[in-house]
Every structure is written in C-alpha cells, then in structure tokens.
Amino acid sequence: MDADLPPSLAARVDALPDGLRAHVERVRVIARGLAARHALDPATADLAAAAHDVARHLPGRRLIEEAERLGVKVSDVERAAPILLHGPVGAAWLRGDSAALDPEVIEAVHWHTTGSPGLAPAGHVVLIADKLDPAKASAYPFQQTVRDAAERNLHDGTLAFLEGALRLHLERRELIHPVSAETRNRLLIARAC
Ligand SMILES: [Fe+2]
Ligand SMILES: [Fe+2]
C-alpha cells in the first residue's frame, strides 16, 4: 500500500491488475516531472496521476452499468465506445470515497481521455503524462511531438495529443468524442488571442 496516497485511493490502485498498476506508476513519475517543469504542485499532479485509471480495468458493458448506476450521463458516442467512460466512472467512484480529494484531482481523472475546455493544470498534466507512457509509443506514434510541445507549454501538449489522436481516429474511421473536438477548438482559439 502506497503511504503517499489516502488509504481509500491506495486500496483502489492496489486492486488494479498488475500491468495497469505498472502503467499508473510510470504515469505518476511523468506527471511529477511535468509538474516540476511547469512549477505546479507535484503532490496534486501525483494524486491525480495515481487516481486516473481506477476504473480502466472494467469491461465496456460494466462501465455502462456503473455509469448508469452512478448517474453519469452516457452519450451515444460513449455507449458505442464505452472505454470513454472509464474517466467519468473513476471520478464518480472517487467522489464517493472516504478521502476528500481536491476537486482538481477529480476533474483530472474525469477528463483524462478526452480533455475538456477550461481544464485546470493538473488535468493537462495527467492527460499528457498518461499518453507519454513509453508503453504507449506504438499506440501514439506522435508521442515525441506531444513530449516536445508539453515541455514548452501544457496547453500545447494537450493540443498536440488531441490533434494526433483526432488524425488517427479519422484514418481508422473511429468515433470522435465531441468534447475532444471542442477542447481542441478552445485551445486553438486561446492560442490566437
Ligand atoms: Fe485512462
Ligand atoms: Fe492511463
């Protein structure tokens, strides 16, 4: 059990399958590095990274059931691609746990797959750190572009990831979550200001 984490969160992380737990540990290291690089609180980034995939092991059917049980709204896109629900379901679990986590941590967990317009810094750190896990190099062949952009600026890092992922989804004729498109637009508009 990790003494740096509140016991209820440590128990959730401990219960994950080995491969997923190893991914979470790598993401925590990357998130702490990004937080240090951008003068953010490393403890918040670490907590959010530790928590981000607490529901990632659930199969799609269970994610839909959990979302419905918890009152998480399920869109048509999410029903067709239920993996998109693992952030929202994980965030809902954490809200119900005994440890009162910082709302920025819960928000980071909720949106770590799609991004969200107006995401706080810890949310950008976790979204980017998750995608920079070396084990995801083949899933995201544009990983170095994201790494370079995130070194400069977290918003640029998220934008680079979203654009790379959107390109892949189009090439493969996969669904695109509307919040990802909206987040990308907002980041572009903010950049032009
Ligand atoms: Fe995830
Ligand atoms: Fe992850």
Ligand number nearest to the C-alpha of 86 = 1
- Going from the Cα of 193 to the center of ligand 1, the distance in angstroms, rounded, reads 31
Least confident of 45-49, 67-71, 99-103, 179-183: 99-103
Confidence band of 193 (pLDDT split at 50, 70, 90): confident
User: How far apart (Å, rounded) are the C-alpha atoms in residues 76 and 79?
Assistant: 5
Beta-carbon neighbours within 5 Å of ion ligand 1: 53, 56
For range 173-182, the mean pLDDT: 98
Residue ranges of the domains in the chain? 7-192
Distance 85 CA to ligand 1 centre (A): 9
Distance 176 CA to ligand 2 centre (A): 18
Supply the CATH classification number for the domain 7-192: 1.10.3210.10
The ligand whose atoms approach the alpha carbon of 25 most closely is 2
Q: Which ligand is nearest to the CA of 87?
A: 1
- Going from the Cα of 52 to the center of ligand 2, the distance in angstroms, rounded, reads 6
Ligand located closest to 63 CA? 1
In this model, does residue 192 exceed pLDDT 90? no
The rounded Å distance from CA 24 to ligand 2 centre is 6
Tokens 């949310």 -> residue = 123
The H-or-E segment that residue 182 falls in is helix 178-192
Residue 43 Cα to ligand 1 middle (Å): 19
Residues with CB under 5 A from ligand 2 (ion): 53, 130
Mean pLDDT of the chain: 96
Q: Is the pLDDT of residue 114 over 90?
A: yes
Q: DSSP for 56-112?
A: TTS-HHHHHHHHHHHT----HHHHHSGGGGHHHHHHHHHHHSSS---HHHHHHHHTT
pLDDT at 2: 81
Closest CA to 53 of 7, 108, 103, 99: 108
Q: Which ligand has the shortest distance to the CA of 133?
A: 2
User: Residue 159 and residue 154: Cα distance in Å, rounded?
Assistant: 9
pLDDT > 90? residue 1: no
Chain segment 133-148, per-residue pLDDT in tens: 999 999 999 999 999 9
What proportion of the chain, given as a percentage, has pLDDT over 90? 94
Q: What is the pLDDT of residues 64-91, one digit of tens each?
A: 999 999 999 999 999 999 999 999 999 9
